[in-house]
Amino acid sequence: EIVLTQSPDTLSLSPGERATLSCRASQIVTSSHLAWYQQKPGQAPRLLMYGASIRATDIPDRFSGSGSGTDFTLTISRLEPEDFAVYYCQQYGTSPQLTFGGGTKVEIK
Amino acid sequence: QLQLHESGSRLVKPSLTLSLTCAVSGRSVSSGSYSWSWIRQPPGKGLEWIGYIYHTGTTSYNPSLRSRVTISIDRSKNQFSLELSSVTAADTAVYYCARGRGGSYPYYFDHWGQGTLVTVSS
């Protein structure tokens, strides 16, 4: 099973600051099979990125994704008030195996 | 516009079977472009994929749940269902249904239901 480790657990930042979230895999992940989601309290997750770096429909360009192999990053260039939430990475691999990271909470400092 | 809506038993007694249905509107579950998954989230915790079904009826399950899970599809009603047997308190969670993209494999999930909380308790 591919384990996804997200860091940090919590990121305390102010609106307007840059957020950098990490997702590290225990084995190589095909980039086209790596996605990121945003979840707000009481809501279902919302797809942000797929294929590691492709923004989903209606996702603003302050969100960007990068990485390959075992290390992936989600960057929010300038935090807006609505961006404070929990973020999850997810991978699909063979077996099949589909796993999520443990999540990073971005909170207002 | 695609919508997914979960329904089913909200309170299940230990050792019994949890049953949920996801009604899909705005897109046919028979489309070959998508797969259909169940994902759960225990209160205050992260996401866990349960399994998926393709329109052909092909299924795949999380190895940790495989012995207790059955996912089925009803093309005539445009819905798919989840059964989880021998439940315990550890199965208490919000259960989501979601559409997978990637053809017959769920590389990622672009539409989710609103989720339904299922509590396992006597």
- Tens of pLDDT, residues B8-43: 999 999 999 999 999 999 999 998 889 999 999 999
**What would the two tokens of residue B39 be?**
């994902």
Element (H, E) at A63: strand A63-76
The pLDDT of residue B92 is 98
Given a cut of 70, whether residue A17 has pLDDT beyond it is yes
Number of residue pairs across A and B with CB atoms under 8 Å?
57
The pLDDT of residue B102 is 87
Torsion of CA B51, B55, B57, B61, to 10 degrees: -10
The pLDDT of residue A96 is 63
Q: What is the mean pLDDT of chain A?
A: 96
- Please tell me which of the candidates A35, A43, A97 has its beta carbon nearest to residue B108: A35
Chain A positions touching B108 (Cβ under 8 A) are 33, 35, 47, 50, 90, 92
The pLDDT of residue B33 is 86
β pairing state of A104-108 and A10-13: parallel
Task: For an interface test with B, give the residue of A6, A98, A104, A105 to mutate (most B CBs within 10 A).
Answer: A98
Work out the minimum CA distance from A40 to partner chain B, whole angstroms: 12
Chain B positions touching A90 (Cβ under 8 A) are 47, 108-109
Q: Which residues of B touch A (CB under 8 A)?
A: 46-49, 52, 60, 62-63, 96, 101-102, 105-110, 112-115
- Tens of pLDDT, residues A27-43: 999 999 999 999 999 99
Residues A66, B93: Cα–Cα separation, whole Å? 32
For B52-76, what is the mean pLDDT?
94
**What would the two tokens of residue A86 be?**
């929990």
Chain A positions touching B110 (Cβ under 8 A) are 47, 50, 56-57
Beta carbons of A45 and B109 less than 8 Å apart: yes
- Tens of pLDDT, residues B38-62: 999 999 999 999 999 998 899 999 9
**What would the two tokens of residue A43 be?**
């809501």
The pLDDT of residue B103 is 80
β pairing state of A104-108 and B93-101: unpaired
The pLDDT of residue A63 is 98
**What would the two tokens of residue A48 be?**
């942000």
Residues B14, A27: Cα–Cα separation, whole Å? 36
Local structure of A98: helix, strand or coil? strand
Q: What is the mean pLDDT of chain B?
A: 95
Residues A102, B33: Cα–Cα separation, whole Å? 29
The pLDDT of residue A95 is 64
**What would the two tokens of residue A96 be?**
């099949």
Query: What Å distances lie between residue B59 and A25, A89, B16, B53, B66, CA to CA?
Result: 25, 23, 22, 4, 11
- Please tell me which of the candidates A1, A56, A100 has its beta carbon nearest to residue B110: A56
Q: Provide the β-strand partners of residue A107.
A: A12
